[in-house]
Structure 1
């Protein structure tokens, strides 16, 4: 009976680790989409330049690295379960616990930061469009000039992709001395009507990114909890038949 329970624990742990492996692959794919901006996805680098956030600049690569680490850990778990190796199961448990704690910390930080995004887009975004957008003509290689260049390129990419203009609309550019009338007219659609502001579609885009990343992280975290429980149970049962 004891051997049957042990085999059952082993099977469940292997199955859960296969799911974790798939989630790791999902993280790698998600990070790749964020980094390269396939189809309707905007590169996270452009969003980082727009929000002037250094953490976001490496966000996609952190997700890819986390996915690779999860894949490796899932292989460790499968190996420990199949070989019934207490040492491997112990290391596997510690690695899972570290990943889980890191995900928890990242989730808390993401929740805090997401609350600040709307305020940034509404205030700092409008201020950038009025004072710094396209202000690269007299660039001297300073940090501010380079930041303006990156921010301008980011706003251009996002406005083109989301088919919108500024934060609130064309009025965000009207006080900017570095924008000519032709560039302001580019904020009008083909029928001559002004394009809507980017605030709502940009917030929706960031919410979509957060949902995709958050749902993947929560799914992986739940599987990790189950795996830790079954790893401990299997580790305790290994060798009891001897």
Structure 2
């Protein structure tokens, strides 16, 4: 085991596992950030969206544990640990591929799902304080108004021609939104395209990062198999 080539593979595998552990921490962080980012809009989102962020958290923790296992295998030069590590990497890769394909196939349903949930939530915002707070937070954070347009508020039951103050963020305190000259200060952008654009942008970033992690995993499997093969040859000598 004193060959230069074997030592290079050993330290490259160790370096790989360091990068892999960092990627696990990043995935864990992304899951937590998604949970926090959209927690104020929980009434507008399907439970599956929050389940997805929870899956990211679990995968991030799992990747970190697997990376630690790989480091131990490389340091101890254990054939069993290295082959187990390679198998776990392949399992993670398959899980990520299945999740990525499923997410890509469902992406066209995103706008339809959001619009249905947002219209339902908007209809309840007059009588339900939680839905009202959700819409105030959404319209303030994204500088938007209504689902597709501020006119969505006028379609609601008991609409009196006014809009929530968060639809007019530039309006001085005390003035009624959408009355008289204040109509020009109403946010014209609907919250559906604003929220959908943010979600799609995040999904694109996740896909790029997933491809990078997949490439790192592929390299890791190669290193682990090479080192395991060298160990078996040494043990048979």
**What is the TM-score when the length of structure 2 is the normalising length?**
0.82
Q: 1:155 aligns with which of 135, 156, 162?
A: 135
Which residue in 2 is equivalent to 1:13? 13
Which residue in 2 is equivalent to 1:24? 24
| Structure-1 separation of matches of 2:81 and 2:150 | 61
Contact 2:100 2:207 in 1 (8 A): yes
Comparing 205-214 and 226-235, the one that deviates more: 205-214
Q: 2:44 aligns with which of 16, 31, 50?
A: 50
Alignment of 1:1-242 (within 5 A): 3-37=3-37, 43=38, 45-51=39-45, 53-121=46-114, 123-125=115-117, 127-128=119-120, 131-136=123-128, 149=130, 151-177=131-157, 181-184=161-164, 186-191=166-171, 192=182, 193-196=185-188, 197-241=190-234, 242=237
Q: Secondary structure at the match of 2:155?
A: coil
Which runs of no fewer than 5 residues in structure 1 stay unpaired? 38-42, 138-148
What is the Cα-based RMSD across aligned positions, in Å? 2.5
CA deviation map 1:90-134 (0-9, x unaligned): 21112111111110111011112221112334x425642664443
Greater C-alpha Rg: 2
Q: Secondary structure at the match of 1:168?
A: coil
**What is the TM-score when the length of structure 1 is the normalising length?**
0.81
Q: Secondary structure at the match of 1:190?
A: coil
Q: Secondary structure at the match of 1:165?
A: coil
Which runs of no fewer than 5 residues in structure 2 stay unpaired? 172-181
Bigger helix share: 2
Contact 1:50 1:155 in 2 (8 A): no
Comparing 87-96 and 212-221, the one that deviates more: 212-221
